[in-house]
């Protein structure tokens, strides 16, 4: 089954394809307090909700990058209905290939829930630091271990122990790269249940309404396996948070962390 078709179906009811509630997304946008006309980039922007809110709240201008043709089409469709987001564009491409026309260009650079693009959490921070202005925001969403994962969970989920760190090590990774951790927005169990549960809900609905889809069996099997893995182990094993870092203004950067 085509990967992006799969994710397009299971995230049909999701405004944001991550375990963050709408209330927390609103808080994130408010806390950013961006200057008017801020320049922003969101790598793995999904359906573009975060960028659209930045445009609506701050008249932000910039670009969203995502590899899924389905999400980019959804994001562009939303844009057509919004005059307030005229400065935003969406591009379908691999985020790893994105090169801004100049370094340290953006008031905000984000990658919320797709750190594999840059080889993990530290690589993502490094890439975003190169995009953000001194004093600009570096925003990442990343899982973390709530407890030591069992062998059974790792086997069932296909996740490796070293893929993720702890909440503390996620925060520390930014500090090590010269960022200030300003705030965290941590998903509750309810946020994670909602994110996972909506996938089961849409899959059941899709199966009812698309009985002739040749991918249906694979879709249902994958979602059922993920559901069992989540309920049995994942719910108590893995958490998720958005880390709000700020690149240090030049005035108090150490030489080691000064932008090139
Ligand atoms: C967990 S979702 C998060 C989406 C979005 N940040 C949000 O919070 O709604 C992961 C996103 O990464 C995108 N993605 C996966 N691999 C990618 C890549 N190599 N380059 C760009 N986007 C990618 C997927 O299409 C998906 O939209």
pLDDT digits (tens, 9 = 90+) for 48-90: 999 999 999 999 999 999 999 999 999 999 998 887 778 999 9
Task: Report whether 207 contacts 153 (CB < 8 A).
Answer: no
Single out the residue of 21, 16, 58, 14 nearest to residue 40, CA to CA. Answer: 58
Is the pTM value of this prediction over 0.85? Answer: yes
Instruction: State the pLDDT at residue 61.
Output: 96
3-class DSSP state of 246: strand
Pocket residues for ligand 1 (CB within 6 Å)?
16-18, 44-46, 65-68, 71, 94-96, 112-114, 117
Predicted confidence (pLDDT) per residue in 158-194, tens digit = 999 999 999 999 999 999 999 999 999 999 999 999 9
Q: Could you identify the atom of ligand 1 that is nearest to the CA of residue 47?
A: 9
Distance 114 CA to ligand 1 centre (A): 5
Token digits for 228? 């069992």
């Amino acid at each position: 089954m085509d990967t992006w078709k799969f994710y397009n179906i299971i995230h049909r009811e999701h405004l944001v394809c991550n375990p963050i509630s709408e209330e927390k997304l609103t808080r994130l946008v408010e806390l950013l307090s961006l200057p008017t006309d801020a320049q922003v980039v969101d790598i793995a922007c999904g359906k573009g909700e975060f960028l659209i809110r930045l445009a609506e709240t701050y008249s932000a201008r910039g670009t969203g990058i995502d590899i899924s043709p389905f999400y980019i089409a959804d994001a562009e469709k939303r844009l057509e209905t919004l005059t307030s987001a005229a400065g935003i564009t969406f591009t379908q491409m691999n985020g790893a290939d994105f090169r801004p026309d100049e370094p340290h260009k953006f008031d905000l650079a984000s990658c919320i829930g797709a750190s594999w693009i840059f080889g993990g959490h530290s690589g993502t921070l490094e890439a975003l630091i190169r995009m953000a202005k001194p004093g600009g925001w570096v925003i990442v969403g990343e899982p973390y271990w709530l407890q030591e994962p069992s062998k059974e969970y790792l086997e069932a989920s296909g996740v490796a122990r070293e893929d993720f760190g702890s909440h503390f090590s996620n925060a520390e990774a930014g500090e090590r790269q010269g960022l200030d951790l300003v705030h965290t927005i941590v998903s509750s169990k309810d946020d994670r249940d909602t994110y996972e549960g909506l996938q089961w809900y849409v899959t059941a609905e899709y199966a009812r309404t698309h009985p002739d889809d040749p991918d249906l069996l694979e879709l249902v099997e994958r979602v059922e396996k993920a559901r069992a893995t989540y309920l049995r182990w994942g719910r108590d094993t893995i958490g998720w948070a958005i880390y709000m870092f700020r690149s240090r203004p030049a005035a108090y950067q150490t030489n080691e962390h000064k932008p090139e």
